[in-house]
Amino acid sequence: MAGAEWTSLEESLEKHLPLLDLQEVKRVLYGKELRKLDLPREAFEAASKEDFELQGYAFEAAEEQLRQPRIVHVGLVQNRTPLPTDAPVAEQVSALHKRIKSIVEVAAMCGVNIICFQEAWTMPFAFCTREKLPWTEFAESAEDGPTTKFCQQLAKSHNMVVVSPILERDSEHGDVLWNAAVVISNSGAVLGKTRKNHIPRVGDFNESTYYMEGNLGHPVFQTQFGRIAVNICYGRHHPLNWLMYSINGAEIIFNPSATIGALSESMWPIEARNAAIANHCFTCAINRVGTEHFTNEFTSGDGKKAHKDFGYFYGSSYVAAPDGSRTPGLSRTQDGLLVAKLDLNLCQQVNDVWNFKMTGRYEMYARELTEAAKPNYSPTIVKE
């Protein structure tokens, strides 16, 4: 399983395929080829100085007679944790704030309107350890914790909607922890929050030790730039989770994640892309980068040797569109900012062609699922 020695699928294709083959492979793997965005030179210079990758692509929609294009620039941020996991909690948080601030400044130069960070971005992904301290100390209030205040500043000074996925402590309700995302309006006001609906119980993702399944349903946030939703990490394996955000009107669904190569790398390019197609919306898949080492070893409960790291977080963040096209991924190895220019008119245009909403038969599924969820349900199997 490749770690940091393999940069990206895209780099390998470019390096090894003859031009004509490359074009056909790209057509199948990425849909139609997207135009590269002409991002400002200072943005590339700043990104290179700060040592992160910057890429930008544009998704076009057809011109309409009655509607103006609905253009929005989204920014996806993937990053390593800059300090070792045994550094003091406050120092780790502050190093991450500093890192993200420098990336958001470049996003602002690129005209980004909505930015989203990776899952639990203020901390190492320590849930593999099953230890409580110090990891629970990273939890903060979604409404007025230090990270939310920090993001409010960013949002206001850059006129940017900020999606900030954090470990939430809800001290109003029994100090319960949640895996949440706070949505901050470009005015700087907290628009609301959403919580991770599906909690993994796979491999070292021992997240159920820390928090429960989200209880806020599938909220969609009306921002100045479009209607957005956040489907946190493992929720991307659940088509109905994507569907409910879409039914509530999401035009862009962010999927801030933390996932490793051994587990999910072959699924990664498919799931968010498929969700964009199936739900006539844009999806933005974001994954962290690198290997995080912990002080104490832990086992995976599989009889294999104990270890001190989760495995390799492979980055590869990308944006997918309702017509099935997608950007190339950011690299597997580097911090990065992916900027994508979207025309939200594409959602309705593709809906009118493919009609997945119209042909969805939701009433039939609602009826059948209501029955199937009952404890005494017996599956409809026709036998000879």
By annotation, the residues acting in catalysis are 119, 196, 233
Regarding 347 and contact with ligand URP (CB under 6 A), the answer is no
The answer to whether 99 and 82 are in contact (CB under 8 A) is yes
> Which is closer to ligand URP, CB of 200 or CB of 226?
200
Residues 309, 315: Cα–Cα separation, whole Å: 16
Contacts of 26 (CB under 8 A, 6+ apart): 13, 33
Phi, psi at 265, each rounded to 5°? -65, -30
Interaction residues for ligand URP, span 72-131 (CB under 6 A): 119
Stretch that binds ligand URP, among 65-73, 254-262, 276-284, 345-353 (CB under 6 A): 254-262
> Which is closer to ligand URP, CB of 118 or CB of 345?
118
Interaction residues for ligand URP, span 222-241 (CB under 6 A): 233-234
**Within 10 A of 8 (CB to CB), how many other CB atoms are there?**
19
Q: Which residue among 59, 121, 205, 225 contacts ligand URP (CB under 6 A)?
A: 205
The answer to whether 165 and 119 are in contact (CB under 8 A) is yes
Look at residues 163, 207, 208 and name the one whose alpha carbon lies nearest to residue 183.
163
Look at residues 307, 148, 168, 317 and name the one whose alpha carbon lies nearest to residue 236.
317
Stretch that binds ligand URP, among 5-13, 23-31, 256-264, 277-285 (CB under 6 A): 256-264
**In this structure, what token pair is assigned to residue 99?**
């890192």
Regarding 312 and contact with ligand URP (CB under 6 A), the answer is no
Regarding 194 and contact with ligand URP (CB under 6 A), the answer is no
Regarding 178 and contact with ligand URP (CB under 6 A), the answer is no
> Which is closer to ligand URP, CB of 258 or CB of 276?
258
Regarding 242 and contact with ligand URP (CB under 6 A), the answer is no
Q: Which residue among 93, 139, 142, 258 contacts ligand URP (CB under 6 A)?
A: 258
For the bound state, the minimum distance from the C-beta of residue 80 to ligand URP, rounded and expressed in Å, comes to 16
Contacts of 43 (CB under 8 A, 6+ apart): 54, 106, 109, 110
Q: Is 295 helix (H, G, I), strand (E, B) or coil?
A: strand
Residue type, 283: T
Q: Is 307 helix (H, G, I), strand (E, B) or coil?
A: strand
Residues 197, 345: Cα–Cα separation, whole Å: 29
Stretch that binds ligand URP, among 45-53, 259-267, 272-280, 360-368 (CB under 6 A): 259-267
Look at residues 356, 94, 121 and name the one whose alpha carbon lies nearest to residue 233.
121
For the bound state, the minimum distance from the C-beta of residue 251 to ligand URP, rounded and expressed in Å, comes to 24
Looking up tokens 């489907």 gives: 231
For the bound state, the minimum distance from the C-beta of residue 344 to ligand URP, rounded and expressed in Å, comes to 27
- For residue 5, give the H/E element and its range: none
Q: What number of chain residues touch ligand URP (CB under 6 A)? A: 10
Q: Which residue among 34, 39, 112, 263 contacts ligand URP (CB under 6 A)?
A: 263
> Which is closer to ligand URP, CB of 264 or CB of 317?
264
Binding site for ligand URP (CB under 6 A): 119, 200, 205, 233-234, 257-259, 263-264
